[in-house]
Amino acid sequence: MLVEACFITAGKIGLDDRRKQLYEKLKAIGFEIPTIISNSAHVSRYASIGEGTLVGKGATVNAGAIVGRNCIINTGAIIEHNSVIYDDFHIATGIILRGAVTVGENSFICAGSVLIQGVNIQKDTLVGAGTVVVKDIKQSGVYVGNPARRIR
């Protein structure tokens, strides 16, 4: 029996890139990595979800949203219209990305955070649990609070 497809079940903690490394190794070997969308998730037919991405239970991805490859959209997360999420990204449970938010590659948005419409987040950025982002994050790092402030 020849195995042609596999799925990466490892999550992302912080800004590590182990999940990205696994993805790249599996692709180099020739595996197909499917997109998995929970039956209880709502993904608009006008949204785009990249290869190897997981959309978890009760998550919502609205019209015009673009989600890159190898991402995790966790339980109850909401990605509103026209948002763009780059590759190797992890959204934790219960976050809200308002409309037209852009989040750079290899970023991690922790549980319960809210990103206000139109903000842009630099790649390699971690937004801590419960953080409210009200303006663009132009420098990679770790951000916490309401409003978000860089702590490292």
Enzyme catalytic residues = 81
Residue type, 64: G
Annotate 36-74 with b (16+ C-beta within 10 A) or e (fewer): ebeeebebeeebebbebbbbbebbbbbebbbbbbbbbbb
Query: From CA 104, how far away is CA 123, in angstroms rounded?
Result: 4
